[in-house]
Amino acid sequence: MFDYRAELDRRIAQFSRYLKLMQERRRGIGSEDCFIIFDDRPDPNGPAADHLRESEDLVRESVLEGVVWDGGTGSASPDEAVVVDLPAEGWRGDDSQLRFIQFIFNERSFDLDIPNTTLYRAEAEIILRRRLGFFHAVERLDLEHPSNREITKRFSPLRKMYVNDDESSAAEDMAFIWFSVWKFPVNWTFFVTASAFHTGPRFERARPLPP
């Protein structure tokens, strides 16, 4: 019998191990920042899979269901008490683009970024209401290096910041986005691209991360 909770826990542990590996890699190359991107490109060696056909209406309907993430009891509805004020335009327009989540690692902390090109506005609302610590990055440009502010305005990401060695929390947040918000199967094969930003090594390029 398929045990969804056990499979979910196993994927969270897998994500956490990869984030720990990135911490070790960053420390090993000195002070240069690193990044890692997890994306959803179809696995050419796996079963044929139609990309999920999400829409804002479907996202709103599915998140209201009782889900395993919440223990299968009660409502999984967003916390309507949380005020979310997001721009109406600039979000994901259709299902033709990859879904992806990216992390940036520096000496003191690491960030999870979800650019607007991979998020419907309704999905951004759900994440902000249900996961503490996320914020709309354009509202905190004071946290950005001046050279990064224009690109932050362009891609308008949701962001969460973590202290180093808190990979387990980041892995749980990532699993929530992939499996509860975007409704990917828990056994989906994701792909990983990881590198130092400038002069350092390129660790992976579209490497499969099997379930």
Query: What SS3 string covers 51-119?
Result: CCCCCHHHHHHHHCCCCHHHCCCCCCCCCCCCCCCCCCCCCCCCCCCCCEEEEEECCCEEEEEECHHHC
How far apart, in whole angstroms, are the C-alpha atoms of residue 176 and residue 200? Answer: 31
Q: How far is CA 59 from CA 14, 56, 88, 93, 152, in A?
A: 26, 5, 16, 14, 25
Q: Is 187 inside a domain boundary?
A: yes
Q: Is 134 inside a domain boundary?
A: no
Estimate to the nearest angstrom the gap between the alpha carbon of 162 and the chain centroid: 13
Q: Is 179 inside a domain boundary?
A: yes
Residue 109 in tokens = 């902390």
Q: Is 103 inside a domain boundary?
A: yes
pTM summary value: 0.78
How far apart, in whole angstroms, are the C-alpha atoms of residue 117 and residue 91? Answer: 6
Q: Is 60 inside a domain boundary?
A: yes
Can you give the pLDDT of all 211 residues of the chain as single tens digits? 568 889 999 999 999 999 999 999 998 887 788 999 999 886 544 443 444 444 334 444 444 433 333 433 334 455 555 556 777 777 787 777 789 999 999 888 899 999 888 889 889 889 988 999 998 876 665 566 555 545 554 555 788 999 999 999 999 999 999 999 998 999 899 999 999 888 778 899 889 988 7
Tell me what pLDDT residue 73 has: 34
Q: Residue 172: exposed, middle, or buried by beta-carbon count in 10 A (0-12, 13-18, 19+)?
A: middle
Residues linked to residue 105 through DSSP beta bridges, in sequence order: 34, 110
Residue 86 in tokens = 């997001």
Domain count, the chain: 1
Tell me what pLDDT residue 74 has: 38
Residue-number span of the structural domain to which 107 is assigned: 4-44+56-67+98-112+161-209
Q: Is 177 inside a domain boundary?
A: yes
